[in-house]
Amino acid sequence: AQKVTQAQTEISVVEKEDVTLDCVYETRDTTYYLFWYKQPPSGELVFLIRRNSFDEQNEISGRYSWNFQKSTSSFNFTITASQVVDSAVYFCALSEARVGWGGTSYGKLTFGQGTILTVHP
Amino acid sequence: NAGVTQTPKFRILKIGQSMTLQCTQDMNHNYMYWYRQDPGMGLKLIYYSVGAGITDKGEVPNGYNVSRSTTEDFPLRLELAAPSQTSVYFCASSPQALLATYEQYFGPGTRLTVT
């Protein structure tokens, strides 16, 4: 079963439009973390936000805002007044603590398939 | 501060050749990871390391090997390259992952083509 689902494969908007990227996740853990990463055309992965499973407060950072709803297992990302520079692939990711070698834990990061956002001038 | 660096940026290999992808981080992070990203897909974990001398397999380890002799370096070795290993490879690091809390910082990626 897909643990992180980004149902929108591609979204195309005109500059200044608002756009929401959807993310639905699945986990049995009570403690987990959710992330959004941006991958611009240059290819690197840029961290945008981290949210833990106990904090359902929405967050706003400039034109970016995130809506975390545990009841629907969703962590959606909205860009207000989009700009051409927002064009990128956006990945939602779920991090769950797992025990590896020798009993040490690590963050198992599961990515969604990504949403390609194109903002036209 | 360089963060996570990877070399080379691009590489073309013939089937059956071997190579090592280099990854170095200067943030003194204990945890390091190797991922591959296939076209149109998210990232999949190949191997990870929780500290010098300690490595473990991720989701897709077959055809790869890793070592971690220092905190800074985490090279990924491809033996007998196959076309199925054509992908973009990302190295990442994070501080000690208490309850999976910390974000991972990614390198710029290595685009590998096997023909």
Q: pLDDT tens across B49-89, in order?
A: 988 998 888 889 999 999 999 999 999 999 899 999 999 99
Chain B contact for A7, CB < 8 A? no
Place of tokens 């970016």: A64
Q: How far is B40 from chain A (nearest CA, A)?
A: 7
pLDDT band at A56 (very low <50, low <70, confident <90, very high): confident
| Nearest CA distance, A101 vs chain B (angstrom) | 6
pLDDT tens-digit readout, B15-51: 999 999 999 999 999 899 999 999 877 889 899 898 8
- What backbone torsions phi and psi does residue A73 show, to the nearest 5 degrees? 50, 50
B55 to A109: CB separation less than 8 angstroms, yes or no: no
Burial of B81 per CB tally in 10 Å (0-12, 13-18, 19+): buried
Assess whether pLDDT exceeds 60 at residue A121: yes
Q: How far apart are CA A52 and CA A27, in angstroms?
A: 13
| pLDDT given at position B99 | 56
More confident residue, B2 or A18: A18
Residue A37: is its pLDDT beyond 80? yes
